[in-house]
Structure 1
């Protein structure tokens, strides 16, 4: 049985021969490590001579497929066919345009990735932190049935274009909502769209006006790498207006987020456990964005980790209690001070306020107390 290195060389040679039979010659085929956002793998890359662009496939998965299923010849045929289709449908890209920012900036869009998971790659690309995530930038070069073709913006590209990270960010924020518009729908409607013809049968037990009607899914139109919408200008504020208040943001994958209104009844730790469970059991490792839950405070206009919001809320409540205690102490001190400096009554006032030897003010207070007692008694009588 051949080892992995031998398998790589044999596969590359056999694919080269298969492509030559299809009339695809004068191409360079390489298999080498490729570091991409959210994942790293060996990539099989095919570039026509003289071109900087070509077709790239995940060779690590190809090797895994052979290990699991065998049938080497069929696998070579399938990979050669994918390369042929990729070369035929690849969008034309003028390599000179890649260094001309004025030509490229209208293609700018953004993507959100986990910062820790992509730490080494983030050192090589411009990015902007957003809690424990990072905003990165891409040029959209075209799209077809297989998806959207994009180019990740690197530090080297910025240098060649002679622009600053700040300019790139500002232009991307303005352009991304136009290139890849945001889409936000009620969870039930999103499920109905995914289920297609079976939606009515599958959703018959979910009431249209139930709690689910207040849970939303946010992404982009093609539902691919859509989490970046939460970084779009005014997106969070618009959602707060729609929901009439604060909300939690749950990253279900790199493709979409779930938005849950915060009515003061939700426990953030329960939401975090749910995200961890879904990520561990339902999401491919390369599609995991974050194991965290986020919160948008509509009053202070702050997007943050849910645990930060909880800590800030606790501090705010403690400050309110301290302020109330401080105000109470001040009020008590003022009353005590006022009582201490109360002037002695003048003799003529005592005479004026006394009727048949009874202090008038005291009698009035006694009368009011008597009325209160009678009212309480009558109230108790009525209850009995």
Structure 2
């Protein structure tokens, strides 16, 4: 029997789960999903993207029962996070961060960035039972916590800076290969990877003027070309001579089209930046 989205929903319902359709926007892309609850009292429910589940099941020759067993295992996992924290001023101030994504219509606390086509938004970053998670901040959450959007962006900017990282690209490659760094501190590298300590949603490092200025002072170069690599990191190229911006934009476009997941792409652009 062919596995379909409807057959998965029907089987989950037969097993006593409450399934409802959800339309989510991820980085400007609309996705159809379903939320699955064990009971009406559940305040947190995972969103499942069943079209992707069906594709994976077909590739792995899974039966409907095997597919729903795996989803049931996911849904049944205990998530002991205290949802009331999301409306606590102290909790938000500690865990609020700024992310960047393509400009879109998603209802969030957000604003236009200085980089055309890219918007800034607020999200909560935390761990639960040793696993990282993030939640995009909705206006009502800030209202219930009694905090203004302006205050939250100020706090998030400070939190982001504490986690700012800028490493020569070749040093990162060396680390992945298990060897020593290729360059020394203060030496101008061809490219720097900007991100955060977790390397998750770290492309917002492009907004950290203080962090970039510190890098500029360290290497003695204050003009750069910024390449938005993905929502997780961006590339900073020291501008030591005239540059061909069209060439850089073509480079970003090619990498986006061949390497970066559509849900993690920013824009097919390159930007000049002065620190």
1:82-125, Cα deviation, whole Å (9 max, x unpaired): 333xx32x341233x3333233221111101111xxx211xx21
Q: Which residue of 2 aligns with 1:356?
A: none
In the alignment, the residues of structure 1 paired with residue 228 and residue 144 of structure 2 have an alpha-carbon distance, to the nearest angstrom, of 35
Distance (whole Å) between structure 1 residues aligned to residue 199 and residue 173 of structure 2: 13
> Is the 2:111–2:121 contact (alpha carbons within 8 Å) kept by the matching residues of 1?
yes
CA 1:100–1:143: 2 relative to 1, 3 Å: closer
Aligned to 2:172: 190
Q: TM-score, normalised by structure 1?
A: 0.62
Cα distance in 2, alignment partners of residues 144 and 293 from structure 1: 39
Query: What SS is found at the alignment partner of 1:223?
Result: coil
Classify 1:157/1:267 alpha carbon distance in 2 versus 1 (closer, same or farther; 3 Å).
same
Give SS of 2:86's match: helix
| Contact 1:91–1:142 (Cα < 8 Å) also in 2 | no
Given the alignment of the two structures, is residue 160 of structure 1 paired with residue 144 of structure 2, yes or no?
Answer: yes
Q: State the superposition RMSD in angstroms.
A: 2.8
Give the aligned partner of residue 128 of structure 1. Answer: 111
The secondary structure found in structure 2 opposite 1:234 is helix
- What is aligned with 1:274? 251
SS at match of 2:231: coil
**1:136-155 alignment runs, 5 A limit:** 136-143=121-128, 148-155=132-139
Q: Separation in 2 of the partners of 1:212 and 1:72?
A: 55
Q: Which one of the candidate residues 22, 47, 67 is aligned to 1:32?
A: 22
Structure 2 stretches lacking a partner, 5+ long: none
**In 2, distance between residues paired with 1:230 and 1:91?**
34
Q: TM-score, normalised by structure 2?
A: 0.85
Q: 2:81 aligns with which of 92, 107, 110?
A: 92
Name 1:326's counterpart in structure 2.
none
Query: What is the rounded CA distance, in whole Å, between the counterparts of 2:87 and 2:197 in structure 1?
Result: 29
Confirm whether residue 53 of structure 1 aligns to residue 44 of structure 2: yes
Alignment of 1:246-325 (within 5 A): 246-298=223-275
Deviation at 1:285, TM superposition (A): 0.8
**Mean Cα deviation higher: 254-263 or 186-195:** 186-195
Contact 1:114-1:290 at 8 Å conserved across structures: yes
Q: Is 2:26 the partner of 1:8?
A: no
- Do 1:126 and 1:154's aligned partners in 2 also have CA atoms closer than 8 Å? yes
Equivalenced residues, count: 268
Shift of 1:144: 6.0
1:171-195 deviation digits (Å, cap 9, x = unpaired): 21122334xx122211111112234
Instruction: Spell out, residue by residue over 1:179-232, the C-alpha distance to the aligned partner (whole angstroms, 9 max, x if none).
Output: xx1222111111122344xx69xx9xxx758x9933211112222211012223
Structure 1: segments with no counterpart, 5+ residues: 299-384
Q: State the 1:253 CA deviation.
A: 1.3
Match of 1:328 in 2: none
CA distance, structure 2, for counterparts of residue 225 and residue 162 of structure 1: 26
Contact 1:275/1:291, CA 8 A, preserved across alignment: yes
Structure with max Cα Rg: 1
Q: 2:9, 2:63 → 1: CA distance?
A: 12
2:94 to 84, 106, 110: 106
Work out whether residues 127 and 136 of structure 1, in 8 Å CA contact, stay in contact via their aligned partners in 2: yes
Question: What is the match of residue 63 of structure 1?
Answer: 54
Q: Which structure dedicates a bigger proportion of its chain to helix? A: 1
Aligned partner of residue 83 in structure 2, secondary structure:
coil
C-alpha deviation, 1:69, in angstroms: 4.6
1:80 is aligned to 72
